[in-house]
Structure 1
Amino acid sequence: MKFLIFGGSVFLSKAVAQTALDRGHKVRCISRGDSGAVPKGARHTIVDRSEETDPHAGTWTGLASHDWDAVIDVASTPSWVETAVTALADRVRHWTYISTVSVYADLSQPGGTPAVTPTLPPADGDLDDSSDPTAYGRNKVACEQAVQSRLGDRCLIVRPGLIIGPGDPSGRYTYWPERLSRGGRVLVPEPADASTQVIDVRDLAAWLVSSAEEGLTGVFDAVGPAQPFSEVLDETARGVSQVTVPGRERRPPVRLVWTDPETLLQLDVRPWAGPRSLPLWLPGEEYAGMRDRDVSSTLAAGLAPRPLAETAQDTLRWLAEGSNSRKSGLTWDEEQDVLSTLSADN
């Protein structure tokens, strides 16, 4: 098969390109070329989609001179997606658009599916998501609709949850294998049974390529089954225990310090991601449906998540190679300050 992949040099799109190559497909990657190399064996066409906006000119003309078995696009800019589908829709057998669970207007109800969860209104134009928290989701809705309107029953819309694993640039899940590898007292957010969902980037990439091969269509959430946060930490610790990190051979045993959300917020510990955060923590019932999507239809369609311990193990090995990628979470000193305050109060 001939795959056209928008991206190909970073995390998910790179994993998709590598998976397609490993299965013997021909792969062309389209990107600006400033985020790293595409996998060896893929052809790379350098395109700045913010500049090549005429679907009937330039690089688009060359791409449209070929037939493509599969297109996979991760863009979040509606005009980029509109240009691509206008240029290529008639030359593509199957189109996968990778969206996000952030398209949903209400994520307060656990067990939701694409069929029953309303989406945000589509963006009217390309919205700046730096100040409007809904802009990213609205942009993605507009991108979905552009693909659906031109490809009809030849498209697959995939809405991933939190994607994790080696190469993760966000540092969200990555925080936990790194932190647990140090041992000692570890600050963690209550409740221990809070639902949590993740998906290894390699498993998602494998499913995306298989779906393109099989011509799967429709709309699917893409994340692993929900599990209690305590189980996420237990499996992560199990995986981490199999990796030797230089300088941490004699790490002390892990002791989880479960702390209620109100206390954490009072101590300026922040949720989900970013500086001074406890990654993956989503306090508040308004996020219950983000932590617990019903993905039974996706699993039935072939998504096969690996054991989380394996992801943790590989993620820590990747970090130990010197990626220096972690961008989320408390620093060591910040965590020790919080733990000291908690000890002083008890």
Structure 2
Amino acid sequence: MINRNTTDGRLYARKFRIWGLFLLLGLAVFFILHIALGQVVLSPREVVLALLNNHDETYHRQIVWELRLPRTLIALAAGAMLGLAGAILQSVTRNPLAEPGLLGVSAGSVLMLVLYMTYLGGSASLSLQVPLFGLAGGILTVSAIYLLGWSRRGDALQFTVIGLLISAFLSACTSLVLLRHSEAIGSILLWTVGSLNGRVWLHWNIIWPWFLIMVPIGLMSAGAANALQLGDGVARGIGVPVRLSRAGLLLIAALLTAGAVSIVGAIGFIGLIGPHIARRIVGQDARRLFPFSALVTAWLLVGSDILSQGLSIPLFDGGRPASLPVGAVTAFMGAPFFIYLARRQMK
């Protein structure tokens, strides 16, 4: 008799290969489309020629290389980091509703960024100090949640509730800072919503080292995540240091989230949707779930930014039009998705 788990594993492995190829092809299409759209619409052929540095397309080459390519690369990197962080948090807490925004990591990073730009004279246009402050906020937040949630052998539910409470408290603190400094609300508010507007090579040069370091580390943590999904007792029985593994995974998720938030702001729900779609396709095994979550979420963020560029709103400084922040688009998608998941969990 064929073992059901073995059969399911082979099925998920086959789906991983097929859907992985499909996602890579889809990302290639979205990559070209994302670069092509803007105030000056380019054809796919013009985009490809510009990317290849065709000398007959000097104007198009300047648009693509100086303005649009860094934004597209940042969307791919930030999406992958947030998707992987969400998958790690869901595995560690064994809670399908967990994601960086709900567990306070994003709120902690944003609060530190707002404090830095408001009280220390930091620039919203970014320097090396900005992501460092965002990173510090994420690490401090996840450290506080871990100490409060598991210092007395608390369970995953307790950890999630504490994360929600801390996230709400940090968001309230951010709102108070914005109210006291209303003159700076235009430049700061985009960090609280999440936006890819105005992202250039400076931002890419900050995010890519974190991406190259933290994403492989996150993918290599799949074995520990699989053990924790079995439960603390089973994990200890097979020789896994539960508390150390959980702390390490939480730190990896915090670093991934803080790295992305420090560049694109608190883009909500994207780290919830991507891992759930990935889990439906490739199953619970973190060895497949983690890379697939990164791919799906990168695909979703690029697609959401394509949609956001078709919608414009007046900015606070003078009312000039600008594309809708991508965080608003993901919130419109994520809120109904979250309600659906919550109702499903209640049933």
Structure 1 and Structure 2 fold alike (TM over 0.5): no
TM-score range, shorter chain: under 0.3
TM-score normalized with structure 2 length: 0.23
Larger strand proportion of the pair: 1
Q: TM-score, normalised by structure 1?
A: 0.23
User: Relative contact order (C-alpha < 8 Å, sep 6+): which is higher?
Assistant: 2
Hey, which of these two has a bigger chunk of helix by percent?
2
